[in-house]
Amino acid sequence: MTTDRMIAANRRNGRRGRGPRTAAGKAASSRNSLRHGLAISLLDEPAACAKVESLAQAIAGAGADNARLSLARIFAEAQLDLARIQAVKVGMMDAHLEASASEGTTCGGEVTPNLQNDEAGLGNDDPSTGTVPPSIELLRQLLRLERYESSAIARRRRAIRALCCAATAMNGIG
């Protein structure tokens, strides 16, 4: 049986968790996934679409039927998405290293950042100023990309399984 206290808690939680209500809030929310361009499908860009198609043709092989070719397209798109995500990650890390190099000193070709509070640079959070060490901010940015990467990996895995099932069915194995 639901108590009055539980009903009141459900109502409070419901009021808080319904997303943006104003036009400005909705507009800001709709731009979140477009910040780095990874939410945009590769098939929306003609050059990337051509890459997907050529990779799909190579995966499916000559004389593949439409079903096998469509599975190969899913695999190819996921694989190229993973490459795109990796490129964004590498770009973020390169930018972080360049920023660290400009703040640090080089010793024998290696960058030695000037760390003041601790050796790892992880304990520099200053709640009074709201500043976050650059290394922590980089990790936060990389963590935001995990959703896209795991989704692409899952799509690729499903496509591989479907391609394998299609191959075994076509060969009469099973």
Kindly give, in sequence order, each residue whose CB lies less than 8 Å from that of residue 40, ignoring residues fewer than 6 positions away: 34
The answer to whether the Cα torsion of 82, 87, 88, 90 is positive or negative is positive
How do the pLDDT tens digits run along the chain, 174 residues long? 889 999 999 988 888 877 788 898 888 777 766 666 777 777 878 888 999 999 999 998 888 889 999 999 999 999 999 999 999 999 999 999 888 888 764 445 554 554 444 444 444 455 555 666 778 888 988 888 898 899 999 999 999 999 999 888 877 765
3-state SS string for 52-68: HHHHHHHHHCCCCCHHH
- The domain spans of the chain are 40-103+132-174
Place of tokens 């360049």: 98
Overall pTM surpassing 0.75 (yes/no): no
